[in-house]
Homo-oligomer: A and B are copies of this chain.
């Protein structure tokens, strides 16, 4: 097949790269049954205890209505707990449960294996350079 202009089109390549990375992520996280956004939520809630769901909207790039279900799943599975905000009675605050901290540790271990795979495939220098370039796309 002649790829024509596609082989030099960064959008085409970005989509393929994302699909490859997401597929490998899913493979390494299959026993934990965590998606990439769910892993991100665990990391953010752990690093920012008592944050609100609204705080997660920007860093995750997921709108608040769609966050409800994803966080709700993590709550149902006992990894995250949601409590009333002390000042603003509209707001909720999030924190990891003990079980959530434990699964986050397992997730970090799974992520290390996944990352090592790409370290071999792509190389440390290339990955560092990629992070630099991708950060420029970050529109928020």
A interface residues with partner B (beta carbon < 8 Å):
1-8, 10-23, 25, 36, 40, 43-44, 46-48, 51, 55-56, 58-59, 61, 118, 121-122, 126-127, 129-131, 133-139
Contact B48 A134 (CB under 8 A): no
25 A-B pairs, CB-CB below 8 angstroms?
A1-B44, A1-B51, A1-B58, A2-B47, A6-B40, A6-B43, A7-B135, A10-B21, A10-B118, A11-B21, A13-B135, A13-B137, A13-B138, A14-B21, A14-B130, A16-B61, A16-B139, A17-B138, A18-B18, A20-B138, A20-B139, A21-B137, A23-B139, A130-B130, A130-B134
Contact B136 A121 (CB under 8 A): yes
